[in-house]
Chain A
Amino acid sequence: MNPILTSVPPYVLLAFAALAVLALPRRSGHAVAALATAFTFAQAVLLGDGGTGAHLATQLFGFDVVFLNVDQFSLLMGVVVGFLATAAVLYAYGTEAPTWVTAFALIYVATTVGTIYAGDWLTLIFFWELMAVTSTLLVWQYGGAAVRAGYRYALFHGIGGTVFLGAVVVHGASMLGSVPAAEIFLFSSTTGIHASATVLAAIGIGVNCGFIFLHTWLPDTYPRPHVAASVFLSVFTTKTAVYVMYRAFPEGGMWLAYLGGFMAVYGAFFALLQYDPRRLLSYHIQAQVGYMLAGLGLATAVGDFAVTGGFAHLFNNVLYKSLLFMAVGVVIYRTGVEDIRDMGGLWRVMPVTFLVYLVGAASITAVPGFNGFISKGMVIDSAHKIHNFELLFGEGLLWWLLILGGVGTFMSFIKLGYYMFFHGSATLSPKDATAFQTAGMVLAGGACVFFGTPLTYTYLVDLMPFTAEVAPELHPYSASHLTESAWLLGAGFVGFFALKRPLGWLAHHMRDIDAVTYPAAFYLARGSVWGVTELWAAVDRWVMHAIATVEWIGMHPRETLGRAGADVEIRTGIGRSVLFLTLAAGVALFVFVLG
């Protein structure tokens, strides 16, 4: 079984499925798409721990490359991406997504899967750049405001991708000499990316992770395309980036952990200020990625437990984040409203959606019984052990950042749920989710619950790397965890209703960093274009003037000599011709005979 499974690169199937979606009628096309994504899921599950290894290894341009690198990490990514993509295809079918959206989404999933299963930096960067292209296409497909946002998205990812490409090149160049030249790009040759490429890799991958100041594309882009497209976009790019971050820095680093902590606070805080539901969720992507990075960053300081926490959070986040985007998407799809202040009282008319939203919100806010509780708990537990900068109650800065982020998350999801489903009387009376939307949401939501209950959470640990070491240490339903969770919940409720008005005021006055960076980039670009143009014009004027001078001198050689003060005849008359001839013959004789 395994040899057959490992000979099929799933992304090739997905790419063909994307073509099938375009070629076939809508219904059968989506069926093929769902089958292809389900295959990706099934392949990863069936391969399991027995199928690890570097498959489809070959040589390209004289370098060893691995097209299907199966290990603990790529397997868990394959499981969750395949599973969620299947749910998302069902959802897209139920949301009347145009076939082009599904096709682009599938090709985007294909590149994501390619990135995940890459076994060397060359293959990885190839799929990484393709991901940027395919996701941009997915954004652009919607037209309207999505086009301009898509341009900014493409710019961000183009620059990020180029920086990362630079990192790969530097990595390869630095590896020369220490391993055979053909193997310089293989993952198996090193742990992580070469130290000389650290900064480039961090920035390049950081763009996709949504590092603070590099994150503005996130809330800018994800609210704009088709709601089904948002579901795909929201989970693949950022989560793959976290996965690649681990590939590059398997030993983590405190810089990564603290960056993650600040991202959690920053993202949650700005999420609180949003009224566009998808924009709010986009900020939460940044916050949640912060938790994952905090976990990965503690790989050395805390150990495999933290890494597992980060990956478990990644795994769960894919499920509940897309679930939230699905739920919000249903509301937008049914009402056409994109401002939560214009919604309200929807829980009566959209009970299924409301229920699904509750599951998603409970998961992301780490309510016991849902999967977020398990993984976020693991990350926070790891942060417990860090005491670089001690603050209140003997806890370190990192822990407080993550807790603060958690409170912010609570507040913003209370806010989102309150405005969408309660707040005031129902002015809209839309229908509830369609059957296929429900199917997609039930798949994702079911997984959220399945991996969170006290009885079944161990399956999550089984899927994770380092199962043997982590499982004995993991006690999510201990009293201390439950208390912690209750405090968070309470703080969130109190916080939201106490700060509702100040937050509303702040939402009008607080702008994100893009208020500065976008105009700055725009004027910088305009200035440089002007500068280059003017410089070129100056060079051009100078060159043309010089040419004109040379031409004039060429055309009026005698006048030029006259101006220089030598008024002589420069034409060769008969006498001078004979003189030249004689001289030439003389010189020839002299040289030829004596030479």
Chain B
Amino acid sequence: MSDVLLPVAIALPLVAATLPIALGLKYERAGWPVAAVATTALAGLATAIGVEVARDGTLSHALGTYEPPIGIELVADELSVAVLALVAVVSLATLAFARVAGPRGNAFYSGYLLLVGGLTGLVLTGDLFNMFVFLEIVGISTYALIAADRSGASAYASLKYLVVGTVGASLYLLGVGYAFLATGTLNMLDMQVQIVEQASYADPLIRASYALIVAGLGLKIAVFPIHAWQPDAYQRAPDAVTTIVAALVSTASAYALIRVSYTVFTVDFLAANDAITTVMLIVAGASILAGSALAAMQSDLKRMFAYSSVAQFGMIVAAVALANETALLGGIVHLVGHGLLKFGLFLGVGLLALGYGARELDDLASAARSAPYTAGAVALLGLGLVGIPPSIGFLGKWYIGVGAVEASMGGGDPAGIGIAVVIFVSTLFTLSYVARVIERFYFAGVGLSDGHGDGSHGDEHGDGSDHGVAADGGSESPSAQTTDALIGGDEGNDSPLTPVAGAPRSRFVPDRVPPAPLVILILAALTTVALGFGGYALFEWFDPFLTEVFA
């Protein structure tokens, strides 16, 4: 009976999505409470599903009265539970930030719940066409959310995503159609069998189907060179929307890629088609390099981390294409870990924007002085993104790198070593942009205000930096400026971080940011570190799934 949890988990947010609009007729602010209740309930359901899977292994449910393979099947295994948990936690946690940062209004929360429902369905479905439906639900709700603050730039970003996202989803649908043509089934497990029985791994129809599915999902994942929608979307969307979209949407698409590649087409298909894996590795490598390099060039924080996602998902695609156990484990760990890291990073950036109006790297001089906890958490998450142990970011990258080297051992493809090198280079790039952020946080703006308290910050801001230097920098200032010039800081805007008018004040911390999201940010940062110690536990958890697909 516990398999009924699966349809309930999908239906709950979808049904709840109608409530804000319906209740909105009577109550102006019904959206947030409804969303909070629904996502809390979803978190509970996700926990229950997780417990069931941990106890009994894979959980499946046939929808309606039609038995699979004709009917639609919902499946939860170790992989889907991990991503489902991420979806539940992030969607619940983002609400705390959305409450203070907006966008407000009941329609937003309807869209938000629709997105959560779509993601849940995407993760739990065991049917290829059903997956397309949820992919579209996710896509459409994302288009709406990105434009939710009604600015011109976000409308354009949303439109761009709408157009290319629709083409991408269509490609996926085309691919599914080809596969259906070849096998006569849409159920994932059934298709796995039918591909061998009714077609073959060398069948052009099957290959074309995989090509179209990979292209379509590649767009949703945003790998180079079809990533162009993603930086615009992340940068222009409202901060709360970026937080959930960056953490979950591409992650769910990458989950879909892993699911389709390993459950439907299987590792034997990849092994039988060298050209396919080679092209995927090349694209992944290009994505890793280009994403990291583009991220290092950015001065807008959200755009920087958006490009960083292009690189990180390149690694996950590479892990899929390497098709060995270690690399896939790394890919899955990185999938979840990266979701958490990006959630935290965009939340931190959003908080700094909310409390201090800082969106550019240059605005962040001495952020660690005015907002030590926020800056510290962002720095911690950034170091995790670089892959400095102990952090989940390190574990994922490490397993992918080891898997890449393993793939090249024993006369294998040299592409594996190539990927390992690319990951290393990308780590250097990542270090360079994370180091720029940390340098701004902790070292820039030295000597501009040496601890006269909050009051003097405002004065200096008004007078301009030169006066500030003369007034209290004293003889230190020339050397401070020289140092700054030497380490490549942009001259000019070194005025310290100033809170916006009406920024919240807390009794416990000097950070002028809302307390509840700050607590969540710190928890997220600590979780990424804590998970970093759980390497073996993660391996244990994913082992049944890996054993099954590599059987």
**What residues of chain A have their CB less than 8 Å away from a CB belonging to chain B?**
544, 547-548, 551, 554-555, 557, 572-574, 576-578, 580-582, 584-585, 587-589, 591-593, 595
Contact = CB atoms under 8 A, between A and B. Distances in A.
Interface string B215-232: 110110000011011000
Contact of A592 (B159, B171, B208, B297): B208
Nearest to B210: A592
Contacts of A589: 208, 211-212, 215
Contacts of A574: 159-160, 163-164
Given A574-B160, A582-B167, A585-B212, A592 B219 contact: no
A486 to B, nearest CB: 78
**Most chain A CB atoms below 10 A, which of B208, B211, B218:** B211
Given A578-B167, A585-B215, A588-B279, 9 more contacts: A572-B228, A574-B163, A577-B229, A578-B164, A584-B219, A588-B215, A591-B276, A593-B207, A595-B207
B389 interface: no
Contacts of A554: 293, 296-297
Main secondary structure of the interface of A (DSSP, over half): helix
Given A554-B296, A555-B297, A593-B207, A581 B215 contact: yes
A592 B207 contact: yes
Closest 3 CB pairs of A and B: A595-B275, A572-B228, A592-B211
Given A574-B159, A592-B210, A593-B211, A581 B167 contact: yes
Contact of B228 (A547, A548, A576, A593): A576
A373 B267 CA distance: 94
B204 A593 contact: yes
A584 B167 CA distance: 12
Nearest to B212: A585
A561 to B, nearest CB: 14
B168 interface: yes
A557 to B, nearest CB: 7
A578 B171 CA distance: 12
A208 B210 CA distance: 78
Main secondary structure of the interface of B (DSSP, over half): helix
Nearest to A591: B279
Interface of B: 159-160, 163-164, 167-168, 171, 204, 207-208, 210-212, 214-216, 218-219, 225-226, 228-229, 273-276, 279, 293, 296-297, 299, 486, 488
B296 A592 contact: no
A557 B297 contact: yes
Contacts of B212: 585, 588-589
B211 A588 contact: yes
B190 to A, nearest CB: 23
B488 A581 contact: no
A386 B164 CA distance: 101
Contacts of A588: 211-212, 214-215, 279
Contact of A593 (B171, B208, B293): B208
Nearest to B487: A544
Contacts of B207: 592-593, 595
B299 A591 contact: no
Nearest to B209: A592
Contacts of B218: 584
B163 A578 contact: yes
A458 to B, nearest CB: 75
Contact of A577 (B163, B275, B488): B163
Contacts of A582: 167
Contact of A555 (B159, B168, B299): B299
Contacts of A584: 215, 218-219, 225-226
A574 B228 CA distance: 9
A548 to B, nearest CB: 7
Contacts of B275: 591-592, 595
A577 B228 CA distance: 6
B164 A592 contact: no
A592 B276 CA distance: 5
Nearest to B228: A572
A586 to B, nearest CB: 9
A593 B206 CA distance: 9
Nearest to A540: B486
**Most chain A CB atoms below 10 A, which of B216, B225, B226:** B226
Contacts of B293: 554
Given A574-B160, A588-B212, A595 B276 contact: yes
Nearest to A551: B488
A416 to B, nearest CB: 60
A581 B163 CA distance: 11
Contacts of A555: 297, 299
A544 B482 CA distance: 14
Contacts of B210: 592
Given A581-B215, A585-B212, A592-B273, A547 B226 contact: no
A97 B293 CA distance: 69
Contacts of A576: 228
Contacts of A551: 488
A500 B299 CA distance: 85
B463 to A, nearest CB: 28
A422 to B, nearest CB: 67
Contacts of B159: 574
A472 B535 CA distance: 83
A585 B211 contact: yes
Contacts of A595: 207, 273-276, 279
8 contacts: A554-B293, A577-B228, A580-B226, A580-B228, A584-B218, A591-B279, A595-B274, A595-B279
B226 A544 contact: no
Contacts of B171: 581, 585
Nearest to B274: A595
Nearest to B294: A554
Contacts of A548: 488
Nearest to A589: B211
A591 B216 CA distance: 16
B255 to A, nearest CB: 20
A544 B208 CA distance: 50
Nearest to A576: B228
A581 B164 contact: yes
A592 B168 CA distance: 18
Contacts of A592: 207-208, 210-211, 214, 273, 275-276, 279
A557 B211 CA distance: 33
B520 to A, nearest CB: 33
A504 B494 CA distance: 73
A68 B297 CA distance: 67
Given A555-B299, A589-B208, A593-B204, A573 B160 contact: yes
A582 B293 CA distance: 24
Nearest to A573: B160
A169 B160 CA distance: 70
Contacts of A585: 171, 211-212, 215-216
Contacts of B167: 578, 581-582
A587 B211 CA distance: 9
B359 to A, nearest CB: 16
A582 B216 CA distance: 10
A558 to B, nearest CB: 12
Nearest to A594: B275
B208 A580 contact: no
Nearest to B436: A551
Contacts of B219: 581, 584
B437 to A, nearest CB: 15
A584 B224 CA distance: 10
Nearest to A592: B211
A547 B428 CA distance: 14
Contacts of A580: 225-226, 228
B410 to A, nearest CB: 23
Contacts of B168: 581
Contacts of A572: 228
Contacts of B208: 589, 592-593
Contacts of B488: 544, 547-548, 551
A589 B168 CA distance: 14
A584 B207 CA distance: 15
